[in-house]
Amino acid sequence: MPASWLLEERRASAAELHASWPAAVAGGTRRVARCRPDGPAVVLGSTQPDGALDGARVRAAGLSVARRGSGGGAVLVAPDGPVWVDLWLPVGDPLWVDDVGRSFGWLGAAWRDALGALGAAGLAVRGPGRTGAAPWARLVCFGGVGAGEVTDASGRKVVGLAQRRTRGGAWFHTACLLRWDPRPLVDVLALPEDVRARATADLAGTAVGLDGLPGVGPTGPGRVLAALRAALP
């Protein structure tokens, strides 16, 4: 691992992992952390209303609810996936880019190269600028593709990115899918039943896990993290 990146492993509830990162707040040094929530949770984007979720369905599914400080749609996280990695980049770092849309480029490239080292071919990094209005992107993170995110050859998202900025730097959230099934997340959204069925069908084709990529053998979080660590600039 490049000496300029300090590695951490963080284990806590999804809410705690999103609420604060003491090492990042201290600033001054590049950091990368494997985040492992202690239970399954739905994480809402910063602008999503609480009403986006059906409370009764959330409780029945045994999920907790968290909110992150960055935008985008909801994500379902659990101890066994997706592979959740956070990175901290201080202001003034050689990788720092003032333009938020372009600031994801180096990170998307690192994820692309990491997954390529695991055997995935034909991956691409979405460039900055307008990405189009995917029907479910505002509701579900993996329903659309944003700047710096990694897709397979058919445009399905494999790695999602988000960012929040402070005076000291940028806190990047990244999630790499090991497998993709939109049903557990869609089932707890506050949607009419006909819309729920349509969302489940549509979202099945918007993302793909590593288990669905040709050339990638059985892969767990440890191998994915090691490949990312080796690919970081």
- Residue 133's pLDDT band, with cuts at 50, 70 and 90, is low
Closest listed residue to residue 177, CA positions, set 102, 82, 111, 91: 82
Domains in the chain, ordered, with CATH?
6-229 (3.30.930.10)
* pLDDT at res. 25: 73
Amino acid found at 150: V
Residues 170-183 have pLDDT tens digits of: 999 999 999 999 99
Per DSSP, the three-state class of 17 is helix
CA distances from 118 to 214, 222, 224, 227 (A): 11, 12, 8, 7
Residue 130 scores a pLDDT above 90: no
- Residue 1's pLDDT band, with cuts at 50, 70 and 90, is very low
- Mean pLDDT along residues 42-65: 96
Q: Whole-number mean pLDDT of the chain? A: 93
Question: Is-above-0.85 flag for pTM?
Answer: yes
Sheet of 75-77, strands arranged across: 64-67, 41-44, 75-77
